[in-house]
Amino acid sequence: MGLAPLIVLLKVLALRKNDATYAEAARFLAKLFGIAFVFGVVTGIPMEFQFGTGWARFSRYAGGVIGQTLAMEGMFAFFLESAFLGLFLYGESRLSPRAHLLAAFAVFAGSWLSGYFIIATDAWMQHPVGYVLDEKGQAALTSLSALLLNPWAFWQYLHNMGGALVTGAFSVAALGAYYRLSGKGGEVAKVLLQVGVLVAAGASAAQIFPTGDRQGYMVAHHQPATLAAMEGLFATESAGAPLVIIGQPNTVERRLDNPLSVPKMLSFLTYKRWDAEVKGLDDFPANEHPDNIALLYYSYHVMVGLGTIFVAVTGLAVLLWWRKRLQDNRLMQWALMLAFPLPFIANTAGWMTAELGRQPWLVYGLLRTSAGVSPRVSAGNGLFTLLGFMGLYTVLSMVFLLLMAREISHGPGVAVGSGAAGTSPGASSREEH
């Protein structure tokens, strides 16, 4: 999802500038996108069966609601993305440049639309809207528009897709930096480095404001116990709560050890008032506290800490680009190349924050996680299946990395110039020779 908009951007630049360098960069990223798409399908589809196998009671309870968005994701978004992916990957030599750009845009739109339906499903579990409980005590949908336009979904989606864009942009910048450091890739390497840095800078800043800010607002108003656990706030601060930079949550003694904090900043960021009261965990019943406060706290702070690093690194990189020194600054190129795994970690920490924060609820305030499991699946069966999936996904991950490494080692075409934005892959190869 992070690569798709970058490919579209490169295709647009190729047409506007009439420069085949951008087209070759888009073509190279398309190969990586194709590999990621295949493995995303292979690993993603089996996960859907967990609804019926591991979470039968949840499926029975919430299927009348979330079944709508999951079906829309498969019928509309996935089919749109899949149908045009073939045209995009294999039809460049048969399509006009504008038609190929439209195919790329359709792939991008399908992937991001798919993301929205998935996020809307999760958002209903975080902040249920547009439903009633029927005579069997099961959730029934009363408003499709309320489900699709859930305010929680809007900001969670923007924040999630921003994280995907940061990941894609950092990966592209890292590729450009790698080729620049190794003396490969030619002009395409310069394009990858420049476009990756500029997009990563904008997306990283947007993760803090407005998307991160507004998502934090949703948590504060709808899941206040989650906010308290995320911040390690055990006691209510009635005259302004501090924002903790670092510290260790001591769940036994109900306090934060060795805190380094900014006074009253949490109150301002959350409620836009320096003296706003922020409730601590002690104000909520113990059975409504997140199950793993320490892990939630650390996940949240890893996400925020890495996000701050992304803004700093990309800000410095943009400054170097502005001064026309980015392409020759090997220290910054090393930093960008080595930083590419960090957005993957930040995204994982972000999803851990969202899902750990919702606990002990499967559907917040309605259905507890312990009440949503399949009653006839034993712990041993669950563990056996988990180990099987871990083994299978490990093998798939190794194949994925090998295929990615092979494409990266081949690298993009380098001997391309202006005036050939619609050049086909075969023509590009002939030019190189």
DSSP 68-97: HHHHHIIIIIIHHHHHHHHHHHH-TTTS-H
DSSP 134-154: -TTS-EEES-HHHHHT-HHHH
Bridge partners (DSSP) of residue 361 are: 368
Using CA of residue 230, residue 235, residue 239, residue 245, what is the dihedral sign? negative
Tell whether the torsion through CA atoms of 257, 258, 264 and 269 is positive or negative.
negative
- Give the end-to-end CA distance of the chain in Å, rounded to a whole number: 34
Determine contact, residues 198/321, Cβ cutoff 8 Å: yes
173, 13 in Cβ contact below 8 A? Answer: no
CA distance 430 to 433: 5
What's residue 423's pLDDT? 47
pLDDT in the model for residue 242: 93
Please give the pLDDT value at position 432.
38
pLDDT score of 278: 94
- The answer to whether the CB of 165 falls within 8 A of the CB of 2 is yes
Show the tokens assigned to 351.
């999803």
pLDDT for 175: 97
8 A C-beta contact, residue 420 and residue 20: yes
- Taking the C-alpha atoms of residue 108 and residue 209, their distance in angstroms, rounded to an integer, is 24
Q: At residue 243, what are phi and psi to the nearest 5 degrees?
A: -95, 120
Q: What is the pLDDT of residue 325?
A: 96
Mark the ranges of the chain whose per-residue pLDDT is less than 50. 415-420, 423-433
| pLDDT attached to residue 112 | 94
Q: Output the six-digit token pair for 185.
A: 């890739």
Distance between CA atoms of 105 and 36, rounded to whole angstroms?
Answer: 17
**Residue 264 has which token pair?**
């009253």
pLDDT (tens digit per residue) in 212-228:
999 999 999 999 999 99
* Contact between 335 and 174 (Cβ < 8 Å): no
Rounded to whole angstroms, how far apart are CA atoms 335 and 312?
Answer: 12
Neighbours of 409 (CB within 10 A): 8
